[in-house]
Amino acid sequence: MNADVLIIGGGIQGCATAYHLARQGASVVVLEKDYIARHASGVNAGGVRLLGRDMAEVPLSKASMEMWQTLSDDLGQDTGFRRQSMINIALDEADMETLRQRKAMMRCEGYTHERIISRDELREHLPHVNPDCVGGVTSDLDGYAIPYMATNAFRLAAERHGAQIVAGEEVLNLRRVGDSWLAQGTTTRFEADTVVNCAGAWADRIALMIGDNVPLSHAAPMLMITARMPHFAKPVVGAVSRQLSFKQFENGTVLIGGGAKGFADRANNRTRLDYSKLANAARTAVEFFPIMRRSAINRMWAGLEAYMPDNLPVIGPAVNATRAFHAFGFSAHGFQMGPVVGQVMADLVLNGQSSFVLDAFRIDRYDRKVL
Amino acid sequence: MFQSLRNPNDERVQLTVNGELIEAFVGQSVWSVMALNDQSITRRAALSAEARSAYCAMGVCFECMVEIDGFPNQQACLRRVSKGMVVTTQDITEMTEASDACV
Amino acid sequence: MPAFDCAIVGAGPAGMSAAIELAKRGARIAVLDRGRRAGGQIYRAVTDSPLPDTQVLGSDYTEGAALVAAFEQADATHFTQADVWHVGDDSRILFSRQGETHELHCREIVLCPGAMERPMPIPGWTLPGVMTAGSAQVMLKSDATVAEGAIFAGSGPLLYLIVAQYLRLGVPVAALVDTTPRSNYFDAAPMLPRALRRLPLLKKGLSLLREIRNAGVPFFRGASALQVLGDEHAIGLRFIAGGTSHEIGARTIFLHHGVQPNLNMTRAMDLEHQWNPEQLCWQVKSDAFGQTSVPHVSVAGDGAGIVGADGARAAGRLTALNILHRLGRLPRTDRDNAAAADLGALAAMAPFRAFIDRLYRPTKALRLPNVPTTLVCRCEEQSLAQLRAGFDQGARDPNALKMLTRCGMGPCQGRQCGHVLTELLSDWRGEPAEAVGYYRLRSPQRLLTLDELSRFHAVSAEAAE
């Protein structure tokens, strides 16, 4: 099977890249070893968040947030996106000080999308929050989407523009021969001018085939979803200094994340939960929102996600090969960036450059360091 | 109509079901107390708000979920009565708003 | 932290028998069960029934008291009122007890999840007042609660048993509406000669039916096209029998057409399963000793395929013998010698079981809904028509349909709709049930409040003893 561009990995980054490339006329094949959105892109918490981003990510994240607002219309497919704002709660004065320092730093960079809110405003937006909480920070454009729907929306739009999605096909071998990339899949051989590595928790293996070594690790962030409960929180909720993250969907169910990690068994393509850590997450949720004491968990699960040592993704060209590009290692906050990353990758592939500064995301940023 | 075959002299406790003060036998299931007192609607379905009641009485259908002492989603067939327990028909649909902050 | 040699989940006949055998040979065991006393569904409240006289329930029930007594004498740590909501193949078991969460470690696991009744998705089956025959049994045994003037509809020994028990107690019964199709008698006939080796069981069944007929309860045979009447509550049952349409008024209607393994625990563990074409249900794959596709996890009793209470006792003992061998407490030859009697007994029961299975095989018209508006998924209120629409949109397997429609995503986690969905998809795809599969399940296996989860304790085997 031949194509201009071979994308490895059918998560949101791979599908968004496929969409932007196909839309501009490139012939694209996406190889996915399981099925679309099987891992981090399908089982994440769906947060679409600009709030609290690392400075290096803010420009990309801001651009992506603009794209989310009209994404369902642009793709002709519902992504489940709801703009509900997001609030990170400050538990005490130390948290408020952290927020003030960050605000000063943001202002130096010219960013104004984060707004510190008082105790009163916090309670106005979240009447059920523990009254001991002293304030917080909010970003109005933020919200949530339904992970599987959003990833699938990119996939369907890409297919409409002629991209081919091949599921159940794992890349066993990848070589640069002359001007071509040759990939041996489980059942089929593929040939392309360009390869894009969007392989998530498996991206270090693909990077190695391309010729780039990268210190990627993987983990299994855990999630819980409750049975329907009375609506008590419209915004997406996080905390400044604690592992708290949840959102209540329109149907009344509440998805609780927070970053507690289970056991990632990458070799066997599966995860296992750590219930004592989930118990901690439950305690934290109840502490911040006493009303949640009475909520009932219906399902718990974990997804496999890739992490870089600095929790920043790898986005950019390969350093040890030509016509190869990477987009992976989003460290549990890549879902929101999917739309813009797709565009960046398409720009890199088609024009050799992006309008964004990508230095912080170079794949070789650890080459000079001793880990 | 549901009837009890128990010895009427067995020890009893008082509890409240949907605001009504009711006497039940010690150790009785919440579902059986509701059935015997003509309070058989355990919950409203979440989408249609249709009335539902116990179907299996052994914990596998989750139709008899009621609110007990403020906690929703309690299976009435599996819970036993206790003194002063407050039981209400569960009425949580997708439209339900939480009442004012409890703290 | 000290761990148990073996944890047994479920204290019905299989779990109790396994525990007795394991304890006898010195294994350190934990038994986890939801009840206040052991007994499971079949021997529920057999030692502390609120009924003034339990003799009316029959000797099959009262004889359970001896097993419960033997179990309670055995040297096992019995966690009563322990609601197990996760069993991991990493040997961790999570359960709720009195509002708190506990985690326990064990070398070997025996699952005895028992059986549940096969759902009967007829029009109106979600109306208040429609319950299962098993629920009538539970209410009678645990709470001495009965429904006067109820209709009993369906087929199978359990249905006839509860009607007979009601009659012995003097509880009026509106009607017995028997849905066993006439053709089943012909289909089962060739299996009768082998089944006759268990003549006493056959006689017991026949005497139940005679007892019901002699009591003068309206008895309709070969009934079909069942429909519950009522808007807010059941007010009666409409059906066809003997070529005419009947309507009988009743506020309580008990349905029953057989039992199937309670799958949630074995499915949530991702053990290998297979479709049983005789019993028309999924069952976990296991060997003669109940050992599953995960070697340190065994399954015994109806949860491994319907065998009845006697079969469950034998299966529990066999499972225990094999685990003793795995624990290094019993050489293989000793295990095999000790197992011979129970293996023989199970083999001897099989022809009778096959006969009963065939005779009371539920008809497709009652196993599967055939009115578009009938709900298949009671929790998320998904009707036959909605599922078909999802299928037509390309959701061809149970998990895809679940993602699309939320069917099976509610609190019962597919216990009520799972089998129905497998059979529906099998029909629509024109492929065997085996190819269709089942939902991928996740913990917890029952709703768990954040409050319960936040109170987390590890259980040490030494401290528990």
Q: Is B18 left (phi over 0), alpha (psi -120 to 50) or beta?
A: left
Query: CA-CA distance, A221 to A289, in Å (whole number)?
Result: 22
- Encoded tokens for A100: 């003030």
Query: CA-CA distance, C21 to C11, in Å (whole number)?
Result: 13
pLDDT in tens, B32-41: 999 999 999 9
**B3 and C145 Cβ atoms separated by less than 8 Å:** yes
- Angstrom CA distances, A343 to A65, C219, C372, stand at 13, 72, 45
Buried b (16+ CB within 10 A) or exposed e, C169-198: bebebbbbbbbbbeebeeebeebeeebeeb
Domains and CATH numbers, chain C: 4-116+260-330 (3.50.50.60), 119-257 (3.50.50.60), 368-436 (1.10.10.1100)
Interface test with chain B among A125, A249, A291, by most B beta carbons within 10 Å:
A291
Q: Does residue A85 have a pLDDT over 90?
A: yes
Q: Does residue A270 have a pLDDT over 90?
A: no
Indicate the length of chain B as a whole number.
103
Within 8 A of A228 by CB-CB distance, chain B residues are 46, 92-94, 96
**C23 and C119 Cβ atoms separated by less than 8 Å:** no
Amino acid A333 reads H
Would the CB atoms of A285 and C450 count as touching at under 8 Å?
A: yes
Within 8 A of A296 by CB-CB distance, chain B residues are 72-73
Residue B13, CA atoms < 13 Å, CB-side half-sphere: 16
Domain ranges of chain B: 12-89
Residue closest to A211 by CA, chosen among A308, A324, A306: A324
Q: Where in chain A is the domain with CATH 3.30.9.10?
A: 86-140+217-307
- Encoded tokens for C189: 């006939």
What residues of chain C score a pLDDT lower than 50? none
Residue closest to A39 by CA, chosen among A184, A208, A157, A198: A198
Would the CB atoms of C126 and B59 count as touching at under 8 Å?
A: no
The beta-carbon neighbor of C128 closest among B32, B41, B77 is B41
**Shortest Cα–Cα distance, B52 to chain C (Å):** 5
Amino acid C172 reads P
Query: CA-CA distance, A295 to A301, in Å (whole number)?
Result: 17
Indicate the length of chain A as a whole number.
371
- List the alpha helices (DSSP H) in A219-308: 275-288
Q: What is the pLDDT at residue B101?
A: 55
* Average of per-residue pLDDT across A188-192: 97
CATH code: domain A86-140+217-307 is 3.30.9.10
Cα angle A318, A156, A161; round to 5: 70
Would the CB atoms of C128 and B75 count as touching at under 8 Å?
A: no
Domain A2-61+147-215+309-361 has CATH 3.50.50.60: yes
The beta-carbon neighbor of C411 closest among B28, B50, B73 is B73
Query: CA-CA distance, A209 to A181, in Å (whole number)?
Result: 11
Chain A residue with Cα closest to C403: A148
Q: What is the pLDDT at residue A36?
A: 87
Would the CB atoms of A230 and B100 count as touching at under 8 Å?
A: no
Q: What is the pLDDT at residue A38?
A: 86
pLDDT in tens, C23-69: 999 999 999 999 999 999 999 999 888 998 889 899 889 999 999 99
Beta bridge partners of C238: C227, C247
**Hey, which bits of C24-123 come out as E strands?**
29-32, 77-79, 83-87, 92-97, 100-111, 115-117
Amino acid A63 reads A
Could you tell me if A150 lies within 8 Å of chain C, comparing CB atoms?
A: no
What residues have CB less than 8 Å from A46, skipping those under 6 apart?
A80, A144, A145, A146, A147, A150, A247, A255, A335
- List the alpha helices (DSSP H) in C288-331: 308-326
Dmax (CA) of chain C? 68
- State in Å, rounded, how far the first CA of chain A is from the last one: 40
| ipTM value | 0.97
Beta bridge partners of B67: B88
The beta-carbon neighbor of B101 closest among A128, A250, A252 is A128
pLDDT in tens, A305-322: 999 999 999 999 999 999
Cα angle C344, C18, C276; round to 5: 60
Rg (CA), chain B: 14
Residue C17, classed as helix, strand or coil, is helix
Query: CA-CA distance, A199 to A212, in Å (whole number)?
Result: 14
Q: What is the pLDDT at residue C1?
A: 60
Q: Where in chain A is the domain with CATH 3.50.50.60?
A: 2-61+147-215+309-361
Q: Check the CA dihedral B82-B86-B88-B94 and report its sign.
A: negative
**Shortest Cα–Cα distance, B25 to chain A (Å):** 27
Q: What is the pLDDT at residue A371?
A: 53
One-character DSSP codes across A197-236 = E--GGGHHHHHHHHT-----EEEEEEEEEEPP--B---SE
Angle separating helix axes C199-214 and C157-168, nearest 10 degrees: 50
Chain B residue with Cα closest to A126: B101
Angle separating helix axes C308-326 and C332-359, nearest 10 degrees: 160
Residue closest to A326 by CA, chosen among A300, A303, A309, A349: A349
Query: CA-CA distance, A82 to A141, in Å (whole number)?
Result: 10
Could you tell me if C92 lies within 8 Å of chain A, comparing CB atoms?
A: yes
DSSP annotation of C198:
G
Average pLDDT of chain A to the nearest whole number: 95
Would the CB atoms of B94 and A228 count as touching at under 8 Å?
A: yes
Q: Are strands A261-265 and A217-226 parallel, antiparallel or unpaired?
A: antiparallel
**Shortest Cα–Cα distance, C103 to chain A (Å):** 8
Given the candidates 3.10.20.740, 2.60.40.10, 3.10.180.10, 2.60.40.420, the CATH classification of the domain at B12-89 is 3.10.20.740
Cα angle A56, A62, A68; round to 5: 135
Q: Does residue B102 have a pLDDT over 50?
A: no
DSSP annotation of A272:
E
As a whole-number percent, the residues of chain A with pLDDT over 70 amount to 99
Helix or strand holding residue C366 (H, E): helix C364-367
pLDDT in tens, B54-92: 999 999 999 999 999 999 999 999 999 999 999 999 999
Q: Are strands C253-256 and C150-154 parallel, antiparallel or unpaired?
A: parallel
Within 8 A of C380 by CB-CB distance, chain B residues are 46-47
pLDDT in tens, A331-341: 999 999 999 99
- Encoded tokens for A114: 């984060």
What residues have CB less than 8 Å from B103, skipping those under 6 apart?
A128, A130, A131, A290
Beta bridge partners of C173: C150
Rg (CA), chain A: 21
pLDDT in tens, A102-124: 999 999 999 999 999 999 999 99
Query: CA-CA distance, A96 to A94, in Å (whole number)?
Result: 5
The beta-carbon neighbor of C447 closest among A286, A292, A298 is A298
pLDDT in tens, C433-446: 999 999 999 999 99
Residue B65, classed as helix, strand or coil, is strand
Within 8 A of A288 by CB-CB distance, chain B residues are none
Residue closest to C453 by CA, chosen among C75, C188, C83: C83
The chains in contact with chain C, meaning 3 or more Cβ pairs closer than 8 Å, are: A, B
Please report which confidence band the pLDDT of residue B103 belongs to, taking 50, 70 and 90 as the band edges. very low
The chains in contact with chain A, meaning 3 or more Cβ pairs closer than 8 Å, are: B, C
